[in-house]
Structure formats: C-alpha cells, structure tokens
C-alpha cells in the first residue's frame, strides 16, 4: 500500500494520532488473526514522515516468508530523495556502521561500534544547490539513508533531525519509490511502485523553476 507522510506505521509509547495499523485494521479486520501483537501484518517500516510503498502481510505464512526475505536481504528497496548540495561522484556506495548517537539517544549516528550499514546511490538530476537521488539501502538500519547522507555532508532536504528544515517542505524529502519481492504465494518476483508524493513533487517543481517556496 501507499503510506502518506505524517502517519506512523504502528503504535508506540507516547504515540498520538492515527497509525497505519489503525487504518488497516478498520478496513481488514481479519488482519488481527495474523498475530496478536501490536503490529499485525507488518514486516518492515517507514519513518513517520517518509511516504511511499510499504508491504503488509494478510496471513501468518506470508508474514513469515516476507520477514525471511528481509532478513536474507533479497528484498529490493529503492527510495527517491533530494539532498542539499551537489553530490559527486554521480553514483557510489556509502559504507559506515550506524548506532545510537552517544550524545543524543533519540538520534542515530555513524559510530565505530554500530551495526554494519551500506547504502548505494545514483544521481538522477542536479538542481542548482540540490541533488535528486535514487537510493538503494542494502541493509535496514534505523534512519539509515538520512544518517548516511548527512554523514557525507549532503543531508536530506527538510530533515530537521540530521540536517535542517526547508522552506519548501514540512518534512524530509524522502519517498519509498519501489520495492521488489518474491510473492509468498508463488515465488514469482514482483516490483511495486509508488509515484512521488504530491508535496514532494510540488517542492521539486518549485526548486526546478527557481521559484520562491509556496509560489
């Protein structure tokens, strides 16, 4: 399904507002039969302010199969992001371990004792002081794309945690564009695509045209 920005995937301590699980359970009550946890059918997650395609399993067998695919790193994940600055070379790999920030435990950071993390990127377009990227995380660490890009000096536009807020957006410019899996039912490889969210496309159009924010 296509997750909008501003919506958390599942309930958590201190969580307020509607979550993806709430919406799913309202439309697919049988999802509660998948398991009795607070995350029925969930096999991976997206940050609250990241939009795009997300997988949900409707049966226990499918959930276990998909969880195993993620564990074996055979799932293809492709994100679209806009970063500050002109990132060069136009394609490459960022490899740096990620763990809890020792100074601010609410954040993640590149740390020498963190867990292995690898992110591949490819430049789609240079836009004045920005770069539009296609990013493929090869591991699944918390905030991986945002942390890695900030660590090499090109933070995601609008990311107030690892970079700075943007006049063009109310959130970070990060969208889960494509995910590829083997269908649990048949083993056939399939890719599912989510087109760029409207607020991100609007910001991109404004930047491309050299317009002031909101014009």
CA distance 22 to 13: 15
Active site residue 35: no
**Spacing of C-alpha 196 from chain mean position:** 13
Q: Hey, what are 50's tokens?
A: 């990241």
Give bridge partners of residue 35 from the DSSP assignment: none
Give bridge partners of residue 133 from the DSSP assignment: 81, 123
**Identified catalytic residue from 47, 49, 159, 199:** 47
Query: What does the radius of gyration of the chain's CA atoms come to, in whole angstroms?
Result: 18
CA distance 66 to 56: 9
Catalytic residues: 47
């Amino acid at each position: 399904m296509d997750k909008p920005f501003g919506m958390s995937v599942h309930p958590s301590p201190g969580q307020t507002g509607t979550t993806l699980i709430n919406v799913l359970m309202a439309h697919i009550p049988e999802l509660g039969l998948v398991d009795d946890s607070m995350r029925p059918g969930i096999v991976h997650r997206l940050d609250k302010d990241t939009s795009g395609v997300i997988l949900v399993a409707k049966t226990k067998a499918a959930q276990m199969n998909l969880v195993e695919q993620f564990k074996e790193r055979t799932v293809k994940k492709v994100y679209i992001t806009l970063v500050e600055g002109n990132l060069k070379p136009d394609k490459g790999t960022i490899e740096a371990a990620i763990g809890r920030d020792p100074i601010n435990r609410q954040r993640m950071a590149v740390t020498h004792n963190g867990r292995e993390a690898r992110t591949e990127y490819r430049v789609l377009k240079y836009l004045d002081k920005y770069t539009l990227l296609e990013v493929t995380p090869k591991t699944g660490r918390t905030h991986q794309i945002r942390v890695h890009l900030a660590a090499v000096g090109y933070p995601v536009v609008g990311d107030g945690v690892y970079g700075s807020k943007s006049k063009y957006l109310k959130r970070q410019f990060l969208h889960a564009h494509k995910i590829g899996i083997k269908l649990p039912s048949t083993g056939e490889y399939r890719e599912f695509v989510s087109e760029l969210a409207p607020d991100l496309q609007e910001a991109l159009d404004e930047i491309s045209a050299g317009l002031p924010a909101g014009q």
